[in-house]
């Protein structure tokens, strides 16, 4: 269980760090509105992903999972938004809070198998946010050669492999959660 939790939080932390680097690299090319979009997108997705995971792990303690996921989503949105403007910071902060709250409720209500599916979907969307930095800049670029396609295709293949391996860790995570639930139910009946 610990390994999958580490995988998810490592991936979310990597998304934040890579986003910071990409913002610093492309800041002059990103418009004000696109900065708000990126901070909202990342705050919401990281809050949702972390919230679903924490809601599933802390099942029965909605307060703890909500507080932790609110902090996670708000921190992500605020960090990214701060690199753009005050408005982007506020938008990222509030989106992160909303995503964290919704994610914690979803994680609490869903079965672990369904939570795993949603976590994998939102991890994929969070990683896909990194492509916004290539898509949203002011200057439009076009594909000039076939060599230009190699890098995105290799990146896509590496991300698919990474997410597939994480999904396999998630299967072990589900078994561990089911085992601890059955153990708690057995103790409760005694």
- The region, left, alpha or beta by phi > 0 then psi within -120 to 50, assigned to residue 139 is beta
DSSP state of 107: H
pLDDT at 18: 93
Q: Give the residues of the chain that fall short of pLDDT 70.
A: 1, 136-149, 181-190
Model pLDDT for residues 21-58, shown as the tens digit of each residue: 998 988 888 888 888 999 999 999 999 999 999 999 99
Buried b / exposed e along 137-158 (16+ C-beta atoms within 10 A): eeeeeeeeeeeeeeeeeeeeee
Give the start-to-end residue ranges of the domains of the chain: 2-189
pLDDT at 144: 61
């Amino acid at each position: 269980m610990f390994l999958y939790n580490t995988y998810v939080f490592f991936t979310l932390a990597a998304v934040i760090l890579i986003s910071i680097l990409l913002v610093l690299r492309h800041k002059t090319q990103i418009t004000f509105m696109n900065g708000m979009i990126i901070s909202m997108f990342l705050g919401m997705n990281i809050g949702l992903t972390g919230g679903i995971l924490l809601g599933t792990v802390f099942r029965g303690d909605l307060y703890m999972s909500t507080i932790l996921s609110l902090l996670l989503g708000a921190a992500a949105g605020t960090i990214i938004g701060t690199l753009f403007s005050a408005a982007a910071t506020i938008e990222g902060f509030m989106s992160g809070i909303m995503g964290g709250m919704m994610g914690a409720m979803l994680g609490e209500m869903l079965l672990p198998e369904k939570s795993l599916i949603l976590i994998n979907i939102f991890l994929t969307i969070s990683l896909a946010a990194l492509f916004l930095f290539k898509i949203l800049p002011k200057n439009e670029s076009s594909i000039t050669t076939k060599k230009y396609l190699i890098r995105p295709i290799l990146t896509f293949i590496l991300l698919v492999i990474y997410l597939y391996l994480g999904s396999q860790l998630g299967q072990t995570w589900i078994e561990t959660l089911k085992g601890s639930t059955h153990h708690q139910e057995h103790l409760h009946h005694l």
